[in-house]
Amino acid sequence: METIDFNERFMMQALNEAHKAYQADEVPIGCVIVHEGMIIGRGYNRTEGLQDPTAHAEMLAITAATEYLGSWRLVGCTAYCTIEPCAMCAGALVLARVERLVFGAPDPKFGACGSIFNICQNPQLNHRIAVSTGILTGDCVALMQEFFGKKRRNG
């Protein structure tokens, strides 16, 4: 029997969140925040449904995690995101003092964790986040491609 890697297990949970976004006709990005091996925050894109440009998966997961911990500091936490966070979300992850970020696929148009910018590891900021990528990349990319393919076909 094949065992599932720790990072893959949590990325699968982020993908579950992304599927919720897909079902709601939102850009299918999901995020979970983990502390001491337990998910303490979940989020999926809800910008259209809430008509809020800040309602990204990461922002909603950060809010849930801070509520759970009772602190705005997410020290010792890892964020698992299906797609590389944008500048807003990367900045929020830094401000929240997240220790580690794991994302499935890079975002060459908006990515701010190595693709366009690298906010998470900017030496000018007072906190830097360890970044890992490449976890379930194919699944993360496939969901985005399916979503945007459907959008193009349906106009």
Q: Catalytic residue at 58?
A: yes
Please give the full DSSP string across 40-97, using - where no structure is assigned.
Answer: EEEEE--HHHHT-TT--HHHHHHHHHHHHHTSS--TTEEEEEEE---HHHHHHHHHTT
Catalytic residue among 8, 36, 48, 58: 58
Residue 140 DSSP code:
H
Active site residues: 58
